[in-house]
Amino acid sequence: MNEISRNIQKEFYKVWSEKELLPNFEKWIYKSTELKDNLNPNSYYEFLSFNYKQENSHSELKKLIENQISQSEVEKWKITKDLLNAKNRTENYSKSIRNFYTLYCKGYDFMDNLAFNYGLALECPYSYYRIETFEKLSEKQKLTLIENCYPDIIGEIEKVLNWIENEKVVLIGKTNEFGKLEYIDNRTDLEKNNYKEINETVEKEKWWEFWK
């Protein structure tokens, strides 16, 4: 697999995450010399010949894009999208909050605070309303649970984003023999136990601005 430039990854991510319209992406494909230089001829031809107007074109295009990047990068895209959805309250963000608990159960132990302090409250609301699932709640009850997450959830989200940025947590995109998602944990014991908060004194561009 060829090494793909950061600029191409950015363009791929925008359409993969549905932040870019397919017609705009199609125009970029046709005019991008950088793409031609970064991809092998067969892969480049796949993008040129892709039918951007076909039914389910976005889902098929996502598969095509995922063939050009590592499993680790795809996993990073997926979790980053959920984190930013919840942080910015966009794109059905309540589902992203609930997914934090699912990701923890699937093996991402580093999501523990987001899972138990926020995701579980939405996924299993019985202790609040004696109702078993989020879908069965009234709209008012859903909104109350969601609003209870803010603003505290934002700090926890940014903590995880920073772990990923600084490779304190390295997503692999594979499951182990027990079916659990694998990752490399480079955090210190203090970071794992939430005894330490890292505050940057110099303001710099957040790494996840790349994904916006």
Domain boundaries, the chain: 6-69, 72-211
Cis peptide before 23 (omega within 30 of 0): no
Q: Quick one: pLDDT at residue 2? A: 56
- Contact present, 134 and 122 (Cβ < 8 Å): yes
pLDDT score for 79:
96
- Mind listing the pLDDT tens digit for each residue in 115-125? 999 999 999 99
DSSP state of 91: S
pLDDT-derived band at 194, boundaries 50, 70, 90: low
Residue-level pLDDT at 17: 86
Q: What pLDDT is recorded for position 202?
A: 31
Q: Looking at this protein, which amino acid is placed at residue 184?
A: I
Query: What is the C-alpha separation between 146 and 155, in angstroms, rounded?
Result: 16
- Check pLDDT > 90 for residue 135: yes
Smallest CA-to-CA distance from 85 within 20, 163, 19 is with: 19
d(CA 17, CA 37): 24
> Cα(68)–Cα(1) distance, rounded to whole angstroms?
7
pTM for the predicted model, two decimal places = 0.79
